[in-house]
Structure 1
Amino acid sequence: MSCVSDCVFSVLYVIGETLGIPDTVMGLTLLAAGTSIPDTVASVMVAREGKADMAMSNIVGSNVFDMLCLGLPWFIKTVFVDTVNPVEVNSTGLVFISATLLLSIVFLFVAVHINGWKLDWKLGIVSLFCYVVFATLAILYELGIIGNNPVRLCAD
């Protein structure tokens, strides 16, 4: 990671700790949005050039890559760094969020198919609405407002 990335993560950590916001909620909102902005800009640029297939590939590929690459740092830590202890994930909603992200990829393909394989404002509105619903439910789940999940803050 670059120095800028380290500073951003540190600042977000301090803000989250100061406001009493769990790390998972900070990751679901601010960090996720920040890492997705370059993908969004690239998708918009190629879609405006009439290359919707590239835009879709970027969107789906980015989500799949983000989800599946979680295994790499876990693998490295458990095989090379600390072979005795498993990696503890500080997220009560990991299964919920992962399943929802997987379903969002399926939904995106179905929605694009129903829309005649065209990316237009209607599909954009539907996708934005689904994202807001997902983010809201994920945050409420992580905060323990819905579900039976107590809020866990990171241990120092």
Structure 2
Amino acid sequence: MQNASLRCEREALERKLRKVQEQVDCTSSTVLFLSKQVKEKEGKVKEAAFSVDNMKGSNKWLRFYTGFDSDAKFEAFLHFVTQDPDLCSGRIRGNIARGRLDAGPHSTLSHADQLLLVMCRLRLGLLLQDLAYRFRISETTVSRVWLNWTEVIQARLMQVSTLQGSPTV
């Protein structure tokens, strides 16, 4: 009688196990399907995002938004501004080599994109809200980037020597 009871219990447990395995199979296929959809959407978002990478090769748009005639000039200015790690470490928090602003766990802007944000505001007078929308970040992050980078740019440009008086011919 005990053996019969144990067999019935085993059969019931095997049925439950099969149901759970079916649910796991169904769930894993759903997760796989959804992850594929997310990857497709991320690719489309990156293509539509406002960034330096999406402006590469389009000197017309780079000139419109930043005033720089070419990618090379923009990159040279970026290098000039960020080449002093002592100056940048206190204001542009994070590792320059990593190219990311350490402004929190969700920061996604590279140094090039941060400089693009600042140059767009300087050249076109775009509002913080507009920049937040274009770069898909919060207004607080835009404000932080703006304040940090304007301080760094000012400090770097103050280091450039200027000629006093009139130049001799």
Q: Same fold (TM over 0.5)?
A: no
Higher relative contact order, structure no. (Cα contacts within 8 Å, ≥ 6 residues apart): 1
User: Which has the higher Rg, Structure 1 or Structure 2?
Assistant: 2
For normalisation by structure 2, the TM-score amounts to 0.25
